[in-house]
Amino acid sequence: MAALSLLHLILLNSVASIPLNPGSAIRDVGFPAVAFCAKKRAGILNIRGGGIQEIVTSEDIQTIIDEHADTPEGGKGKLVVVEFTSKDCVPCQSVAPLYIELSESDEFEESVLFLKVDVDANPEIAMEYQVTGWPAFLFIKSGAVQTEIVGGKLAHATLYDWIRLLMPK
């Protein structure tokens, strides 16, 4: 039952993050606003200037994951978010500006690394991580994949929330 409650919370929070039309009847149902959307609308999102690293080999991604995992001394590592994308994928291109904006946010500068894998040029990396659809986002923490989201609509609705939930505090 606890997992179902968490799922409901995530879905309700996702619905609140979708911009609604001013005349929408759903607008005033009392869902909490997602912080990212509120900041974005208010124009106070701080930008630090690009932070997506292109990955070309499996070794590159593993090196980055290993370098930013938790340390044995108890130090907190970084959350690694990997986007799997294709040049011919319309949903990939629609979510790309959001991913770029999140990578440039001061909020994630110290605790999140953003990576990008072009599945057309590097299909072996997608196969290694068992990615079968895109856009796909893998969330890697302490050297292990924590969760994955696949699809443009789901990414638009929940990407910010998943990063906030999984990033080191």
Joined together, the tokens standing for residue 141 give: 């923490």
Region for 66 from its dihedrals, namely left if φ exceeds 0, alpha if ψ lies in -120 to 50, beta otherwise:
alpha
- Active centre residues (catalytic): 89, 92
Q: DSSP for 54-85? A: EE-SHHHHHHHHHHTSPPTTS----EEEEEEE
For residue 86, CA distances in Å to 89, 143, 152, 157 come to 5, 25, 12, 20
Joined together, the tokens standing for residue 164 give: 């906030």
